[in-house]
Structure 1
Amino acid sequence: MSTTTVAPDEAEGTKKGGKKKLLVMVLAVLLLGGGGGYWFFLKPASAEEEKPVPGEVLPLEAIQINLQDSHYLRIGLALQQVEGGGHGELDGSKALDAAIDIFSGESMEELSQKKYRHKLKKELEHELEELYHEDVMGVYFTDFVMQ
């Protein structure tokens, strides 16, 4: 039966080679991790994340909306357009229709509360962003009278 013996120098060479490979792998992982961290956390903001620039404000005619218990709301809106957005003049009828959908049937007591009015305004802004494909960036109440 033959036995193979490894010289002491060869045994040390395989240990050193294993340590070198491990060191190279650890450095590669650290470099990749650092690059990934930079990409996700420190990369410059893209153009999509820039805030839109306000454009013209389009005032709309005030309308009357029926509320609960024979009350009504007269509401006037103005749309804050995005600079350079849109295809010419916006059609305000979409905004008025959305306002009717959101405010009709509400109670006068709820609309008297500032928080509730603010909530409905945010809902209207969200609806207008969808209707106008982000050509509108805000809505202002120019008239808000309940009776």
Structure 2
Amino acid sequence: MSLLKKADDTTTLSEAKELGKVRSVSNDSIFANSSNEEEIYAEIGDIHGYLNELLGWGAWQAVNPEKMKGELIAKQEYIEEILVPETKGTLRDDLERAADGIGKAIETNDTQDMLITHRIFHDLDVVMNDIVVEDYWGVTETYGSTSP
């Protein structure tokens, strides 16, 4: 499997659910500490918002990861040091892939891996926080339709 799983197609979350492309996951299987679930949901939403501002609506074309290295490293470290330890299983895997995508974007000075990172946070935010959006990418191990 590729370090950064690519999306096949986009659909709406409701369509994906109807087609069985969104797996139901118990919080016990993805959170190390159940008392922090709501905080993690909020943090995932915040990071998704940050990535929307940074990359959304065509802005990704003007982003230069090398020039934003300090800011991006801080986001990567936050994911690795704060979020990852609070998770387990597939959610941990998704967050590690997202952090790796930021690192790879810095290393290659290419936003392509950042787009995948954005899609991971997008899909997590949409499902966890029940956000109504047009696009659901189906790129996470946590909520994807196939077993991890």
Q: Same fold (TM over 0.5)?
A: no
Higher Cα Rg, which structure: 1
Taking structure 2 as the reference length, the TM-score comes to 0.26
Higher helix share: 2
Structure with bigger RCO (C-alpha 8 Å, 6+ apart):
2
Higher strand share: 1
